[in-house]
């Protein structure tokens, strides 16, 4: 057995854009070009009904997807209740509820 020191080597939390496959991310952007205008203000997360009770954070999920980090995204988006309050607040008029569904459809196999 490899020696147990009581701790393990921390892995970096850097997102490596060169290593990530952005094909799915590009597909999502192609079907919803308005996502390009997101300024990451977090109004969607601040107003989120699901996020009020859980750790669900749409801004974080969206940012990760755009950077090619897809692991666990589908399960995370299942927490969304599709109430659409975020859509009322988005300063860029993005149809965030549609964005949730688009991302889930595209990443259904992840």
Partner 1 sequence: MRRGNWEEYQKSIADDNYYYARSCIRQNFFPGSEKAFLDIVANRLGRNIYDDPLHSSCTGIGYHSDIVPLDTIMAVVARQFALMNEAGYENLVSSCITSFGIYTEILSTWEEFPETEQRAAETLYKATGRTLVKPKNVAHTSDVIFHLRKQIAEQMTRPLINVRTGEPLRVVEHIGCHYAKIFPKKGIGGSEFPYVLAGMIESWGGEVVDYPERRHCCGFGFRNYLVQANRGYSVANSQKKLESMAPYRPDFIVCNCPGCAMFLDKWQYTIAEMEGTTYGQGGVGIPVLTYEEMAGLVLGYDPWQLGMQMHQVDVEPLLDKMGVEYDPATKYLGVNGKYIGKPEQAVVNGDCPSGFYSMLSL
By CB under 8 A, is residue 9 in contact with partner 1?
A: yes
By CB under 8 A, is residue 18 in contact with partner 1?
A: no
By CB under 8 A, is residue 108 in contact with partner 1?
A: no
Angle CA 47–78–57, to nearest 5 = 35
Residue placing its CB nearer to partner 1 in the complex, 1 or 52 = 1
By CB under 8 A, is residue 52 in contact with partner 1?
A: no
By CB under 8 A, is residue 19 in contact with partner 1?
A: no
Binding site for partner 1 (CB under 8 A): 2-3, 5-12
């Amino acid at each position: 057995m490899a020696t147990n020191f009581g701790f393990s080597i921390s892995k970096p939390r850097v997102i490596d854009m060169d290593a990530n496959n952005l094909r799915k991310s590009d597909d999502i952007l192609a079907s919803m070009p308005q996502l390009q205008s997101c300024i990451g203000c977090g109004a969607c997360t601040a107003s989120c009904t699901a996020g009020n009770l859980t750790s669900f954070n749409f801004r974080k999920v969206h940012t990760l997807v755009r950077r090619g980090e897809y692991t666990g995204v589908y399960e995370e988006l299942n927490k969304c209740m599709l109430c659409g309050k975020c859509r009322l607040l988005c300063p860029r008029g993005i149809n965030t509820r549609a964005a949730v569904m688009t991302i889930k459809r595209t990443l259904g196999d992840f």
